[in-house]
Structure 1
Amino acid sequence: MDHNRVIRDVTVRLPMASTAVEACQWTVAALARYTPAAIAVLLHVQGRLRCVAATGSWQVFSTVAPGSGIAGRVYATGHAVTVADVAADPAYLPVRPDVTAEICVPLCDSTGRPVGVLDLQWSAPEELDRWRATAERLAGGLGARITALGGPPAESRSEKLLRHAATLTAAPTQWELLTEAIGAARDVSGLAAAMLVLAGGDGPRLGGPTDAPGELESRVRAELAEAGPEALRRMITRAHRYGSGYTLGEAGHRPTDEYEPIARAGVRTLIAVPVGTPDAGGVLLVADDRLLRPDPTTVNLMELLAGQAWTCLDRLRTLARLREQASSDPLTGLRHTGPFGQRIAAATPGRTALLAIDVDGFKDVNDTYGHQAGDRLLVGLARALEGALRHGDELYRIGGDEFVAVLEVSRPDEAVRIAERLAEAARGVGRTISVGVAVAQPGERPELAMRRADQALYAVKRQGRDGVHLSAA
């Protein structure tokens, strides 16, 4: 085969290509006329090698991580390779079941930095040395043309949105989710600033990071903070009542009253998109100080982003509620045995006091007045005991009418005084309690300290109930 002719025929149309993808497609199509190889061109786009042109196989890999497979290795090192037996190379990514040999060469820009690879795979014997020399020359011409056309193709806005959507879904916290959503809005829209205004029980607020990346966003945040919650509420109401809105890029027109604070900050372009529900959601504001006209596609992408962000935010909130429910007693709202076990496992010897609490005569209440009356008693008593504790003290319900308070104290008598306050609080709601107190000792397992508190509690019961007893060390 005349390899000079191959090079000439493959590269003759390259100067006419108007995009990098078109140049790659022409190269693959022309090269396929001279070899039955599976041919592919992969370009580096957003951290991965993306296949932009291919032929000769039933299926190709859409993307390959840099460093993965033979193609990834060539891109990462910038050095061409000839693999005479792909079965012996553990990095080989199977494209065709009959492939035996592979040649992969880097595509480089004018500085010699790899921007992609040209990959050829054969199932029949070939002059691999000749083809490698030809592939390297073809790669040189193709790399130069890609560079002249501005490099590998940029992500489309839809591709950006999909990439951000995946990150939103994986966000482990509300803070990280809101930060990602705001960054995605800037990236996909091409506008300078983005903010989420979220409704809440304490009034609307700006959600997401406060370390604004640009001057415009800082100014907008300052104006909205000064305008106050009512101004934020009006923005949310407008967006949910009338739907998404965007500016027309025309000068000389006054904004509606809801957006006066934003206009005062210097915003001349604004997209406002409702997020979630009116009572729990909010509005996504995407803005710029340039006078632009966002096209309807951009607005639609912001709506899709807002929908995805809300779905993920609602999921995180639901998970948080479920975790809270899983760790709390549904009747009293107090934490129960699971968190209690974790808490006493972290007890500090000589400092952590355990107060075992039992309601006196509780069975008689259930037997005489019914379980509903007993439930009301437990709820009222839980509130009274919580009110008698200090800030930082913890109260758990670990059984039917059994509670445990965990305190950090400096001396045992401090724990006894708190126990006496609890007993007095119980009397204030018409009941009495028995309280056993134990302070964790050095070298003592937490469950043994709890056992001592229970034993002190039983001592109070034997002495007539309605009292406090400190366990001896």
Structure 2
Amino acid sequence: MDHQRVIRDVTARLPRTSTVAEACQTMVDALAQFTPATIAVLLHVNDQLRCVAATGSWQVFATVAPDAGIVGRVHTGGRPAVVPDVTADPDHIPVRPDVVAEVCVPVLDPAGRPLGVLDLQWTAPADLAWWRATAERVAARLGARIVALGGPAESRSEKLLRHAAAMTAASTERELLCAAIRAARDVSTLAAAVLVLCGRGGPRLASPPAAPGELEARIRAELTEAGPAALRRIVERVHRYGAGYTLGEAGHPPTLEHEPLVRAGVRTLVAVPVGPADGGGVLLVADERLRRPDAATVNLMELLAGQAWSCLDRLRTLDRLRKQANSDPLTGLRHTGPFGQRIAHATPGRTALLAIDVDGFKSVNDTYGHQAGDRVLVGLARALEGALRQGDELYRIGGDEFVAVIEVGRPEEAVRVAERLTEAARRIGRTISVGVALPRHGESPELTLRRADQALYAVKRQGRDGVHLSAA
């Protein structure tokens, strides 16, 4: 084997390449002319060794963990590996069943920093020492060419896939929206991204990730000052006409919808619809630089917006199902399951339970029917909620039975809150009886609730429409 010829061939071809991927594939193709080995170049991209170029085999791994296999060992240690018998090396990753030997060398930049690895695997005996020397020399030339071309990097499609995975894994709406904004910046290569979402209160700006850039901060400030009407105009325009790539060139006045963005300094804008027209929103991706229209950027942003909306819709559906599972379908109040969890964490001497019963409720059902009774319960639930303080919690645990869990400093404070509830019931033409109990040290939540119920029945015996505090 004329190894000098191999090196000369690779050396001649690499300068003519214009991308990192092309350089890697050119070298693989050049080596493949001189050996039947399975050849692959894996570069370190986004915490993975990503296969950028390879000859055919039954399985070429798209990505490998940077510390996995012989390739990971070589990349991490920065030293070549010559494996005459792959069955004796536990780190060997099989890509075909007949491989017997492997040579793997690091691809280094001119400063000696690892960029990835060049891996060769043979199915028959080969001069591994010669190939190690040759592989090291061509890998050095490849490393220099990669650096000259800007270094290893993800394509925009690969970035989109990575960000899509992050959005799918988001467990909260804020986490998802922050991930979508970061993805829009990264994939578009533009400086700023803003999400506008519509809801019952009208369109709003989604919360940004930590430390938004200067342009993004200006855009958010201008849109906030312009108000909901300006946001609504932007959303309506994008949903009516579709995605757009807008340039703010001198001498071309902006439309009304774009004026706040122009004031913020935007000269390039990609705007794509998010979700349905009647409840979705819009993704705005912008830059202060004047960039030429790029259909690929718009397409990628449309894919990103579609993925973001699918994930957002899934999170909202799961949240709605959780609320349905934890709440009373008639009044919307939480019911016995969450109540049990809450009182299990009651603080002795600080948490008060207020057992509430609607006076004369059975006569309402018997006289006017259950629909009228349901209306009474709903109206009373809203009145009691309105009378409670911030942080107090109200549960429906039976037909006409409610319990409020409140944090107080003294028993007298709990009694005052209970009296506010009775006053709220009177204002809507109903009366209630309320029993109050504070947990004792070592007392089970069930026993505390039983004492509150006993205090409630004491009110009933005294003529209803009142409050009674259980003995401490």
Question: TM exceeds 0.5?
Answer: yes
1:349, distance to aligned residue in structure 2 (A): 0.8
1:316, distance to aligned residue in structure 2 (A): 2.2
- Secondary structure of 2:102 counterpart: strand
Q: Structure 1 residues 107 and 444 mapped into 2: Cα distance closer, same or farther (>3 Å)? A: same
Q: What are the equivalent positions in structure 2 for 1:37-436 lying under 5 Å apart?
A: 37-55=37-55, 57-152=57-152, 154-209=153-208, 213-248=212-247, 250-436=249-435
| Counterpart Cα distance in 2 of 1:117 and 1:359 | 76
Aligned length: 472
1:249, distance to aligned residue in structure 2 (A): 6.3
Q: Structure 1 residues 278 and 57 mapped into 2: Cα distance closer, same or farther (>3 Å)? A: closer
Q: Structure 1 residues 272 and 334 mapped into 2: Cα distance closer, same or farther (>3 Å)? A: same
User: Cα deviation per residue 1:193-222 (whole Å; 9 max; x = unaligned)?
Assistant: 222222233332222317664332233222
Q: Structure 1 residues 56 and 211 mapped into 2: Cα distance closer, same or farther (>3 Å)? A: closer
Q: Structure 1 residues 454 and 23 mapped into 2: Cα distance closer, same or farther (>3 Å)? A: same
The residue that corresponds to 1:21 in the other structure is: 21
Q: Is the 8 A contact 1:247 1:293 kept in 2?
A: no
Q: Structure 1 residues 148 and 390 mapped into 2: Cα distance closer, same or farther (>3 Å)? A: closer
| Counterpart Cα distance in 2 of 1:420 and 1:319 | 38
- Secondary structure of 2:41 counterpart: strand
Q: CA RMSD in A?
A: 2.5
User: Cα deviation per residue 1:169-194 (whole Å; 9 max; x = unaligned)?
Assistant: 22222222222222222222222222
User: What percent identity do the matched residue pairs reach?
Assistant: 77
Q: Is the 8 A contact 2:349 2:438 kept in 1?
A: yes
Letter in 2 for 1:287: A
| Counterpart Cα distance in 2 of 1:452 and 1:91 | 67
- Output the TM-score relative to the length of structure 2: 0.91
| Counterpart Cα distance in 1 of 2:315 and 2:471 | 47
User: Cα deviation per residue 1:231-283 (whole Å; 9 max; x = unaligned)?
Assistant: 22221222222222322564311111221222222222222222223332222
| Counterpart Cα distance in 1 of 2:20 and 2:391 | 63
Greater CA drift, 460-469 or 231-240: 460-469
Letter in 2 for 1:423: T
Structure 1: tracts of 5 or more residues without a match: none
- Secondary structure of 2:202 counterpart: coil
Greater CA drift, 419-428 or 158-167: 419-428
Q: Structure 1 residues 31 and 268 mapped into 2: Cα distance closer, same or farther (>3 Å)? A: closer
| Counterpart Cα distance in 2 of 1:322 and 1:187 | 33
1:406, distance to aligned residue in structure 2 (A): 0.9
| Counterpart Cα distance in 1 of 2:246 and 2:415 | 67
1:125, distance to aligned residue in structure 2 (A): 3.7
Letter in 1 for 2:447: L
1:340, distance to aligned residue in structure 2 (A): 1.1
1:109, distance to aligned residue in structure 2 (A): 0.6
Q: Is the 8 A contact 1:41 1:117 kept in 2?
A: yes
User: Cα deviation per residue 1:410-434 (whole Å; 9 max; x = unaligned)?
Assistant: 2223323333333343344444433
| Counterpart Cα distance in 2 of 1:389 and 1:18 | 69
Structure 2: tracts of 5 or more residues without a match: none
Letter in 1 for 2:100: T
Letter in 1 for 2:47: G
Q: Structure 1 residues 401 and 218 mapped into 2: Cα distance closer, same or farther (>3 Å)? A: same
Q: Is the 8 A contact 2:248 2:266 kept in 1?
A: no
